[in-house]
C-alpha cells in the first residue's frame, strides 16, 4: 500500500463555493503534524490560505481524534501508528477570482493545491495522489499532473503544488511546438472568440522560445485562461500556467488582421508566463532551491527572474513575427515611460525591491510610486541595457541566458553566477555596470544605448495637468476629483496636496475635470487657489502650475540599415 497522502477533492457545494477535502494518510506518525502553505511560489505575498479552511476533523478507523492547532496554518494529531490510516476531513471556501488561489461556482472550478492540500509533515517526499469527485457530467479536467486510472499523482509535495487544476465545460484546443503537445483551455470566452487564431499565434511564441532555449523542459504544456470582465495576470508552473484576462483582450472572428492593443497585451502575457518555464521554474534564485511554505522566502534576484522575463516577453512577439519593429518599439516606449513616471526608481534599488516584494510591491499604497521601484518594468530596462551593452562587446543577452542554463543545468542561480557569466561575455566593465544598475539608484543609460543601437528617442505629446502638478487622480462626473497619489518633488506636493484630497474648486470656480484648470488662470498667472475637502474639512491651497513639457518618450527606428539595430531587432 502507498504510504503517501491521498486527497479526495469533492466539488461539494458549487452554489456556496465549497470544496470538501478528505486527506488519507495510510501510515501516520504518532505525533503527526499538518500545515497549509501561507504563500504560493511565483507570487510573493503571504496570503493566508488557511483562512478559508474550516470544519477540520480527524479519525483513525472508527475513532475520532483530537486536533491541536499549533499556529495560524498548522495542526497536530496524536495517532496510534498501529491503528491504520489517519483521515482528515475539512472544507475550503473558494471564491477568489485570481490565478493564485481557488474558485468554485456553477460555471467553473479551479484550484491550486496550495489552497486545498494540507502538507503531511514527514511525508513530503512520498507520492501524493489526487482524486476528484462531484464533477458534472459535461465538465472535464485540465491539469498536467501525471494521470492515473483513478485520478492523478505527483512525485512529492513540491510537484503537487506546482500543478493547478482547471475544471469545467470550457473551450480547448491543441497544437504542437517542437513536437510537444500544447493545450489552451479558455473559460468565460465570448461566442465570437477566435480560438484558432489564438492557437496559431501562441504556437509561434512557443516555437520561438523553445528555439531560444534549445530544449523544452516538459513533455506537455497547458495554458489555462479565464476571461473575465476586467482582469489581467498569470502565475507560472512547471508544465502549465494559470492566466486571467479581460474578455475584450481575446481575439474575435471580427478582429482585423493586425492585432489590437488588447490582444497584443494578452499575447505578451502568454509569452511572459511561458518564458518562466525556464527562467524561474528551473533557473531560479539559489534561495529558492527548497521552498519554505510557512514563511516568506527572500531573494534579491526578482529583477532578473521577473525583469528579464518581462524584457523577453514582448521581444519574443517580435521574434515570432506577431509584431513588427515599430510596434515593438512602441511597446518598449510604454515601459520606459512607466518607469520614468515613478520617482521611487531614484529611492529603492532593484535588489532591495526584490527583497522587499513581500511588504512593498504586493502591498502598494498612496506613497508607493515615491518609495518603490518596479522590478518587472525597471528590471526589463536593466535587461535591455545589459543586452545592448553586451552587443557592443560582440556578445548578447541571449548568450548570457544560454550560458546560465547550461552551466547550472537549469538549476539554482546566484547573483555571483550571473555576474560571472556577464564578465565572461562582456568583460569587467559590463559586469560592474550591471551591479551598479541593480544595487544603485542612478538613471539607467537607456537613451544612450538605444541611440547607439539605431533607435530614435524623441519627446512626444504634452503633459496633462495632473502630470504638470505631479498628481495621480481619479475623476468622476458624480464624485469629482480625488487625489490618489502625490508624486515626490512635484508642484502639488510643494503646495500641500495630500492623497485622498477631494479637489472641489479652483480660483473661485467649481471644478469637475483637472484639465480645466488652465482655463481658470488669467494671462501671465500660474498660481492656483485650490479648495480641497480633507477629512470633511475645507482647506485652501496655493499651488503653482508648471509649464507643460513633453508628456512621454517615443521610440522609432532611426536608420533601417543600422547594423546594430539589425543585430538587436532582427531587422
Measured distance between the N- and C-terminal CA atoms of the chain, rounded to whole angstroms: 60
Average per-residue pLDDT for the chain? 95
77 phi and psi angles, rounded to 5 deg: -135, 130
B/e letters for 163-189, b = 16+ CB within 10 Å, e = fewer, are bbbbbbebbbeebebeeeebbbbbbbb
Mean pLDDT across 215-226:
97
Of residues 343 and 2, which shows the higher confidence score? 343
From CA 249, how far away is CA 247, in angstroms rounded?
5
Mean pLDDT of 189-204: 97
pLDDT tens readout for residues 356-388: 999 999 999 999 999 999 999 999 999 999 999
- Give the count of alpha carbons within 13 A of 128, CB side only: 25
> For the residues 52-80, what does the mean pLDDT come to?
96
Instruction: Identify the pLDDT of residue 62.
Output: 87
Largest CA distance in the chain: 92
Query: Could you give the 3-state DSSP secondary structure of residue 434?
Result: helix
Report the sign of the C-alpha dihedral through residues 156, 51, 24, 236, in that order.
negative
pLDDT at 3 over 90: no
Residue 560: is its pLDDT beyond 70?
Answer: no
The alpha carbons of the chain give a radius of gyration, in whole angstroms, of: 26
User: Which of the four pLDDT bands, split at 50, 70 and 90, describes residue 100?
Assistant: very high
User: Can you say whether the dihedral through the CA atoms of 99, 100, 105, 109 is positive or negative?
Assistant: positive
Band (561; pLDDT cuts 50, 70, 90): low
Does pLDDT of 256 surpass 90?
no
Q: Is 411's pLDDT higher than 60?
A: yes
Cut 0.85: pTM above it: yes
Task: Say yes or no to pLDDT of 258 above 90.
Answer: no
Return the DSSP state at 514. G
pLDDT-derived band at 61, boundaries 50, 70, 90: confident
pLDDT-derived band at 84, boundaries 50, 70, 90: very high
Residue 171, CA distances (Å) to 13, 86, 198, 232, 279 in order:
24, 39, 12, 19, 29
Closest CA to 199 of 223, 226, 220, 231: 223
Mean pLDDT of 491-506: 96
CA atoms within 13 A on the CB side of 406: 10
Average pLDDT rounded to a whole number, residues 484-499: 97
Each residue's pLDDT tens digit, 390-403: 999 999 999 999 99
Look-up: residue for cell 510537484? 159
Determine the pLDDT at residue 77.
Answer: 97
Where is average pLDDT lowest: 2-6, 66-70, 301-305? 2-6
**Greater pLDDT, 86 or 558:** 86
Q: What is the mean pLDDT of residues 216-227?
A: 98
Write down the H helix ranges in 261-324: 261-275, 302, 309-319
Distance, in Å, from the CA atom of 109 to the CA atom of 96, rounded to the nearest integer, reads: 11
Does the pLDDT at position 571 exceed 60? no
Percent of the chain with pLDDT over 70: 98
What confidence tens digit (pLDDT) does each residue in 314-350 have? Answer: 999 999 999 999 999 999 999 999 999 999 999 999 9
pLDDT at 33 over 70: yes
| Per-residue pLDDT tens digits for 22-31 | 999 999 999 9
421 vs 566 pLDDT, higher one = 421
Amino acid at each position: 500500500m502507498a504510504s503517501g497522502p491521498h486527497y479526495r477533492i469533492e466539488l461539494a457545494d458549487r452554489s456556496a463555493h465549497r470544496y470538501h477535502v478528505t486527506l488519507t494518510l495510510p501510515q501516520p506518525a504518532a505525533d503527526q503534524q499538518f500545515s497549509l502553505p501561507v504563500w504560493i511560489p511565483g507570487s510573493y505575498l503571504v496570503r493566508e490560505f488557511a483562512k478559508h479552511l474550516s470544519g477540520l476533523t480527524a479519525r483513525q478507523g472508527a475513532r475520532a481524534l483530537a486536533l491541536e492547532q499549533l499556529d495560524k496554518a498548522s495542526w497536530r494529531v496524536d495517532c496510534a501508528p498501529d491503528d491504520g490510516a489517519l483521515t482528515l476531513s475539512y472544507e475550503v471556501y473558494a471564491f477568489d477570482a485570481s490565478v493564485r488561489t481557488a474558485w468554485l461556482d456553477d460555471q467553473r472550478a479551479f484550484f491550486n493545491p496550495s489552497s486545498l492540500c494540507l502538507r503531511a509533515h514527514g511525508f513530503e517526499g512520498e507520492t501524493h495522489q489526487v482524486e476528484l469527485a462531484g464533477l458534472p457530467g459535461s465538465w472535464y479536467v485540465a491539469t498536467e499532473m501525471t494521470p492515473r486510472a483513478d485520478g492523478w499523482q505527483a512525485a512529492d509535495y513540491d510537484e503537487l503544488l506546482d500543478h493547478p487544476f482547471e475544471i469545467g465545460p470550457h473551450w480547448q484546443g491543441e497544437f504542437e511546438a517542437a513536437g510537444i503537445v500544447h493545450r489552451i483551455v479558455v473559460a468565460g470566452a465570448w461566442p465570437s472568440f477566435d480560438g484558432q487564431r489564438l492557437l496559431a499565434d501562441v504556437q509561434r511564441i512557443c516555437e520561438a522560445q523553445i528555439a531560444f532555449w534549445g530544449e523544452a523542459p516538459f513533455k506537455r504544456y497547458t495554458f489555462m485562461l479565464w476571461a473575465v470582465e476586467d482582469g489581467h495576470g498569470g502565475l507560472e508552473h512547471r508544465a502549465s500556467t494559470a492566466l486571467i484576462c479581460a474578455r475584450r483582450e481575446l481575439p474575435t472572428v471580427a478582429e482585423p488582421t493586425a492585432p489590437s492593443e488588447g490582444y497584443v497585451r494578452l499575447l505578451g502575457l502568454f509569452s511572459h508566463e511561458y518564458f518562466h518555464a525556464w527562467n524561474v521554474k528551473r533557473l531560479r534564485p539559489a534561495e529558492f532551491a527548497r521552498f519554505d511554505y510557512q514563511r516568506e522566502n527572500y531573494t534579491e534576484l526578482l529583477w532578473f527572474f521577473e525583469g528579464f522575463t518581462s524584457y523577453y516577453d514582448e521581444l519574443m512577439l517580435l521574434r515570432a513575427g506577431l509584431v513588427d519593429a515599430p510596434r515593438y518599439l512602441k511597446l518598449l516606449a510604454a515601459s520606459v515611460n512607466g518607469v520614468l513616471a515613478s520617482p521611487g526608481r531614484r529611492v529603492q534599488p532593484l535588489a532591495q525591491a526584490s527583497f522587499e516584494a513581500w511588504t512593498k510591491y504586493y502591498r502598494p499604497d498612496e506613497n508607493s510610486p515615491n518609495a518603490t521601484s518596479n522590478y518587472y518594468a525597471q528590471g526589463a530596462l536593466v535587461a535591455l541595457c545589459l543586452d545592448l551593452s553586451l552587443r557592443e562587446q560582440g556578445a548578447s543577452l541571449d548568450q548570457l541566458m544560454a550560458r546560465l542554463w547550461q552551466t547550472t543545468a537549469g538549476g539554482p542561480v546566484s547573483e555571483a553566477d550571473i555576474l560571472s557569466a556577464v564578465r565572461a561575455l562582456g568583460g569587467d566593465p559590463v559586469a560592474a555596470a550591471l551591479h551598479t544598475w541593480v544595487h544603485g539608484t542612478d538613471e539607467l543609460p537607456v537613451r544612450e544605448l538605444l541611440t547607439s543601437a539605431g533607435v530614435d528617442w524623441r519627446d512626444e505629446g504634452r503633459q496633462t495637468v495632473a502630470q504638470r502638478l505631479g498628481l495621480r487622480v481619479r475623476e468622476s462626473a458624480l464624485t469629482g476629483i480625488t487625489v490618489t497619489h502625490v508624486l515626490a518633488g512635484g508642484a502639488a506636493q510643494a503646495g500641500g496636496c495630500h492623497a485622498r484630497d477631494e479637489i472641489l474648486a479652483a480660483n473661485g470656480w467649481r471644478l469637475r475635470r483637472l484639465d480645466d484648470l488652465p482655463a481658470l488662470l488669467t494671462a501671465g498667472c500660474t498660481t492656483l487657489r485650490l479648495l480641497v475637502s480633507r477629512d470633511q474639512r475645507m482647506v485652501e491651497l496655493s499651488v503653482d502650475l508648471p509649464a507643460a513639457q513633453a508628456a512621454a518618450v517615443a521610440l522609432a527606428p532611426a536608420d533601417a540599415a543600422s547594423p546594430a539595430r539589425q543585430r538587436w531587432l532582427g531587422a
